Amino acid sequence: MQLNVEKAGGVAVVEVNAEELDLSNVEEFKREVSNVLAETPRIVLDLSRVQFVDSNGCGSILWLLKQVTTAGGDLRLCGVNKPVRTVFEMIRLHRICEILPTREEAIKAFGS
């Protein structure tokens, strides 16, 4: 899995370049996003290319949320399509992690 990472101020925008975030790639996702987390604990996770998330994918997002909060940062999600958002709502992820429509809005949600 390849992650595209852009910096916007003190925020890292991580775009997941995969159609699925599931058992087949969550360990690679965690390994790669750990490198980003080492640089900044303020992360926007852009899921606009992701079409499917299973329980392992949800678990990896929760793992990332725990890592960033432990490091004193926070996590925002953006670009979440309707089927993925439905899964997030079923597990109530939207109550503990802010989901915004666009990358720009997610970056602005961190403030200055």
Tokens of 7: 């910096």
Domain that holds residue 58: 3-108
State how many domains the chain has: 1
The domain spanning residue 81 has which CATH number? Answer: 3.30.750.24
Per-residue pLDDT tens over the stretch 10-20: 999 999 999 99
Q: For the chain, first and last CA: distance in Å?
A: 31
Sequence-distant (6+) residues with CB within 8 A of 1 are 16, 17, 18, 25, 28, 29, 32
Tell me the pTM: 0.94
**What percent of the chain has a predicted confidence (pLDDT) above 70?**
99
